[in-house]
Amino acid sequence: MTRHLLRDDDLSPAEQAEVLALAARMKADPFGEVVGKPLAGPRTVAMIFDKPTLRTQSSFAAGIAELGGNPLPINGDLAQIGVRESVEDVARVLGRQAAQIVWRTNDQSKLDAMAQWSGVPVINALSDDFHPCQLLADLLTITERKGRLAGLTATFVGDGACNMGNSWLIAGATAGMHVVVSSPQGYEPAAEMVARAQQIGEQTGGSARLEREVGAAVDGADVVITDTWVSMGKEGESQARLQALAPYALTSDLMGKAGADAIAMHCLPAYRGKEIDAELIDGPDSVVWDEAENRRHAQKAVMAWLQEQDGRSAS
């Protein structure tokens, strides 16, 4: 059966650890002199972008080239998938052209349909519900700084109902971390996301909980994360969001409540002076540039791992 990465819990705890270990090896060997080039041929990877992109497009394109493959960018505005042609028909076409499909889109159900009909691995490069590639990059970054994941406390502050809040709950619990989400009323993650993370945590030793009071949520944390308050597609709610989320800004004062060697994370793009202080994102506790670089290494590992799984299913 073809494997995909559509949401964070598509990887078991053991598989997540395997992908992260492969990402670390690939970072140390960027041109595949030791780990090889699993997309050599070159095999083509279709990259569909329905939403604005910088890190996703650049990191996937560079990573595919380093794996020996051919990156094929597809403009979502021109392709009009689901409008001009059905997702099912596009999946059948691209599955005959490409070894894998990367899609940055809004609707998670469209990714599910692509995966059902493509016949090749499909990777979620961001949806409104999940951002699993960013989380693998973040977990790789934390491992580099802390030497481990299990047992650490990661606190997400701000809009907990966004894709990053969901992915942190699921992927953090999968890694055995204690995930705390602090959001104002109306911006909490969905109850089923918290329940799913708690279910995973029972297996891994991790945990997941909500904490309304932001100072208590950050107290003693090893990692503090935030994301933009006005995500793509939410521009019409801008003023209401800025007002509601202002008390949850990741400031230097708030960071001072975290653990002594805590790190600050942001997946970018960041809006300095809103969800995060300028001096914090540019300061010594920030790891945002490592996160940005590690998108490439983590995604290379995902593509190589899925390619290996696809080969096994075909044999």
What positions carry a catalytic annotation?
104, 131, 134, 227, 267, 295
Contact 294/137 with Cβ under 8 angstroms? yes
Q: How far apart are CA 230 and CA 234, in angstroms?
A: 6
- Alpha-carbon separation of residue 91 from 37, 61, 102, 139 (angstroms): 25, 20, 11, 30
200 φ, ψ (degrees, to nearest 5): -65, -40
Number of H helices, E strands in the chain: 13, 9
Q: Which of these, 129, 107, 136, lies nearest to 48 by C-alpha position?
A: 107
Contact 200/166 with Cβ under 8 angstroms? no
Non-local (6+) Cβ contacts of 192 within 8 A are none
β 223-226/263-266 pair status: parallel
Q: Which residues of 138-162 are buried (b: 16+ CB within 10 A; e: fewer)?
A: bbbbbbeeeeebeebbbbbbbbbbb
